[in-house]
Amino acid sequence: MKKSKVTKRHDLTWDYFSLWIRHRDNHTCVLCGNSLEDGFIIQAGHVIPRGVSRITYDERNVYGQCAICNQTHKYYPQYYFKWFIAHYGQELFNDFSDKEKNNAIVKRGVGYYRDIADKYKELLETAELTEYEKVKVTSLEKRYNKLYD
């Protein structure tokens, strides 16, 4: 099925955000230390699931994770939760957990996603990037220009 423009815009926002998180965390898994440099796929993994819309794009809720740890998180969330609490404290964890318990579908306008895309686009464009990241940013820019002309 062909993706709608709205879906493509959502995907683009996530891809900018995800690349920023991975850049921030040096393309290294915060849990086990596997890194892109060592040949591992690094993803941006949510502590509290992505579906909790109020914190989907909260930088404190998303960290570089290797695909193995990200997958493990689905079945053993305690591992990532423990790490999070050790770094950011029980209070923030409880706050995020409450948001998950009281999660509701929040309808967002186009502007919401565009603002987030713009923020991370600019952060990436002004950051010192590796060759790998430069390639990624160039391809994101092409998509951005197509979706927001």
Q: Which is nearer to Zn ion, 27 or 121 (CB)?
A: 27
Question: 3-state DSSP: the chain helix, strand, coil percent, rounded to 5?
Answer: 65, 10, 30
Q: Is 34 in the site for Zn ion (CB under 5 A)?
A: yes
Name the minimum Å distance from CB 18 to Zn ion: 16
> Of the listed pieces 21-29, 71-79, 95-103, 110-118, which binds Zn ion according to CB under 5 A?
21-29
Out of 24, 26, 32, 88, the residue judged to bind Zn ion by CB under 5 A: 32
Q: Are 62 and 47 in contact (CB under 8 A)?
A: yes
Q: Which is nearer to Zn ion, 78 or 126 (CB)?
A: 78
Query: Binders of Zn ion among 43-72, rule CB under 5 A?
Result: 66, 69
Q: How far is CA 42 from CA 14, 22, 86, 98, 107, in A?
A: 15, 7, 22, 28, 30
Q: Are 23 and 127 in contact (CB under 8 A)?
A: yes
Identity of the amino acid at 80: Y
DSSP strands (E only) in the chain: 42-46, 62-66
**Site mask, Zn ion, residues 104-133, x = CB under 5 A?**
------------------------------
Name the minimum Å distance from CB 30 to Zn ion: 8
Judged by the rule CB under 5 A, the positions of this chain that interact with Zn ion are 29, 31-32, 34, 66, 69
